[in-house]
């Protein structure tokens, strides 16, 4: 199913957002970076790069030769490789994927923790094209798309790099994943965003209005 994207938002401090707006600096951290951060489910996510989740239901069992019945509790396991290679660039998406009516969206206050400023990208198609062109120029393979959110207490099965626990759903993430063998930041520049974006404060971002809600 195709979704309509009205705008992308990128949050951060004034220095980094000014760099993004003026120079189009796209800073992609390695997956390992996000797995190790402990910041109350903002950027850090121990489920990042997980290959699967196992949730067992509670029940009981008997040991042969012993008549007593034993109960076992819910079991929750994360399956993952020791190291997951590749880099990620995340954007907040105002779209029909995350909102029943994107025009009437409201930014969750939890996003204020990302920083003091925001780059609001209005021409998202142009923005995505410029990133894609730069990555292709560097002969880097990439994938992008919306993040799907799941209940980690219920889900059992494989997990992709485009799935995250629902605790992060307030971030409405649209993600670039770049195949990169080095576990280090990847930085590209796509030029000034003056013709397709606007630099605003987080306070202004919290009051963005794109139209009438339904």
**In the numeric block, which tokens belong to residue 81?**
């490789």
Answer yes or no: is 174 within a domain: yes
CA distance 45 to 37: 7
Residue 92: closest CA among 181, 202, 212 = 202
Answer yes or no: is 58 within a domain: no
pLDDT by residue for the chain (214 residues), tens only, comes to 688 999 999 999 999 999 999 999 999 999 888 877 766 566 767 777 777 787 776 666 666 667 677 666 666 677 776 777 899 999 999 999 989 888 888 899 999 999 999 999 999 999 999 999 999 999 999 999 999 999 988 888 898 899 999 999 999 999 999 999 888 999 999 999 999 999 999 999 999 876 654 3
134 phi and psi angles, rounded to 5 deg: -70, -40
Answer yes or no: is 20 within a domain: yes
CA distance 79 to 49: 9
CA distance 19 to 150: 34
Answer yes or no: is 69 within a domain: no
Domain assignment of residue 132, given as a range: 11-42+83-206
Supply the pTM of this predicted model.
0.83
> What pLDDT was estimated at residue 85?
85
List of residues 6+ apart from 106 with CB closer than 8 A: none
Structural domain total, the chain: 1
E strand or H helix at 19:
helix 14-23
Answer yes or no: is 137 within a domain: yes
Answer yes or no: is 192 within a domain: yes
> What pLDDT was estimated at residue 58?
66
Residue 134: closest CA among 95, 189, 172 = 189
Answer yes or no: is 100 within a domain: yes
> What pLDDT was estimated at residue 40?
56
Answer yes or no: is 52 within a domain: no
């Amino acid at each position: 199913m195709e979704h309509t994207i009205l705008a992308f938002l990128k949050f951060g401090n004034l220095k980094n957002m000014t760099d993004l707006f003026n120079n189009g600096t796209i800073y992609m951290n390695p997956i390992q970076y996000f797995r190790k951060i402990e910041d109350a489910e903002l950027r850090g996510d121990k489920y990042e790069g997980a290959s699967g989740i196992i949730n067992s239901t509670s029940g009981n069992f008997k040991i042969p030769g012993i008549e007593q019945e034993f109960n076992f509790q819910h079991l929750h396991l994360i399956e993952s490789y020791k190291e997951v290679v590749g880099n990620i660039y995340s954007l907040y998406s105002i779209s029909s994927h995350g909102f029943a009516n994107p025009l009437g969206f409201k930014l969750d206050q939890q996003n204020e923790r990302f920083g003091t400023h925001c780059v609001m990208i209005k021409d998202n198609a142009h923005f995505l094209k410029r990133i894609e062109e730069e990555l292709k120029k560097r002969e880097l393979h990439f994938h992008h798309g919306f993040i799907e959110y799941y209940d980690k207490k219920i889900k059992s099965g494989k997990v992709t790099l485009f799935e995250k626990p629902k605790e992060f759903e307030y971030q409405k993430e649209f993600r670039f994943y770049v195949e990169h063998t080095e576990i280090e930041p990847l930085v590209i520049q796509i030029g000034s965003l003056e013709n397709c974006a606007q630099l605003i404060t987080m306070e202004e971002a919290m009051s963005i209005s794109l139209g009438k809600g339904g």
